[in-house]
Chains A and B, each alone.
Chain A
Amino acid sequence: NAGVTQTPKFQVLKTGQSMTLQCAQDMNHEYMSWYRQDPGMGLRLIHYSVGAGITDQGEVPNGYNVSRSTTEDFPLRLLSAAPSQTSVYFCASSYSRGSATNEKLFFGSGTQLSVL
């Protein structure tokens, strides 16, 4: 198993550009999520999904869109990049299904995004 795969690993954008961060998992996990990690702020939840076709907002959803058309994939779209979105982004998944328990999150290796 590859686990959770994120692409790209690094990305530089100009203000106003849009892009999609890709996330795929091969563990048949129902739960998938996106976090951003900033110095002094810790990990913050952007969006999450409890299964194909179901998504919900986390703590900091503004400026980001998600969709979940398959169990495997959970892309994160930046609609119009802003310097405040400069961060390291992590995708995470877990076995949890239906219940609200986040047991044992599996993280990808991250995407370092800079918005100029």
Chain B
Amino acid sequence: EDQVTQSPEALRLQEGESSSLNCSYTVSGLRGLFWYRQDPGKGPEFLFTLYSAGEEKEKERLKATLTKKESFLHITAPKPEDSATYLCAVQTNAGNNRKLIWGLGTSLAVNP
């Protein structure tokens, strides 16, 4: 069964304390892996798409990487405004490939 698991469920960091969020997946064939950010009371906001193992993408303090089994979202020197829930989603090659399999997210809190 296709599955996406995010860890940890929640993470609390001090401002400037770098860390990584994990998204592990077991799917029949990966078409793309997506990272989104969701603020309380709002819809998810797109961050990155990764397509193949070894690919990396960066945006400000965020860097996403992809292997054949997992993706990491690295946060370098985070600021309080980086506090949000980060969602990972996977699109597979099999069946209805408009279906995204979503993880439950990692809730990140960055203290000043």
On whether A42 and B41 interact (CB within 8 A), knowing A100-B97, A104-B49, the answer reads: no
Taking a contact as CB atoms under 8 Å apart, the answer to whether B98 and A107 are in contact is no
Taking a contact as CB atoms under 8 Å apart, the answer to whether B43 and A109 are in contact is yes
Which chain A residues (69-109) contact chain B, with CB distance < 8 Å? 90, 92, 100-109
| Closest B residue by C-beta to A40 | B104
| Closest B residue by C-beta to A91 | B43
Interface size class of A (residues with CB under 8 A): 20 to 34
Tally of A-B Cβ pairs under 8 angstroms = 58
Taking a contact as CB atoms under 8 Å apart, the answer to whether A105 and B91 are in contact is no
Interface size class of B (residues with CB under 8 A): 20 to 34
Q: Which residues of A contact B44 (CB under 8 A)?
A: 43, 90, 105, 107
Which chain B residues (34-49) contact chain A, with CB distance < 8 Å? 34, 36, 41-46, 49
Binding site for A on B (CB under 8 A): 31-32, 34, 36, 41-46, 49, 87, 89, 91, 97-100, 102-105
Taking a contact as CB atoms under 8 Å apart, the answer to whether A45 and B49 are in contact is no
The prevalent SS among residues of B at the interface is strand
Among B34, B43, B97, B98, residue most surrounded by chain A Cβ atoms (within 10 Å): B43
Q: Which residues of A contact B105 (CB under 8 A)?
A: 42
Q: Which residues of B contact A43 (CB under 8 A)?
A: 44, 87, 89, 100, 102
Q: Which residues of B contact A104 (CB under 8 A)?
A: 46, 49
Taking a contact as CB atoms under 8 Å apart, the answer to whether B91 and A102 are in contact is yes
Is A110's CB within 8 Å of the partner chain B? yes
Q: Which residues of A contact B99 (CB under 8 A)?
A: 45, 58-59
Among B44, B104, B105, residue most surrounded by chain A Cβ atoms (within 10 Å): B44
Tell which of A58, A101, A106 touches B46, judged by Cβ atoms closer than 8 Å: A106
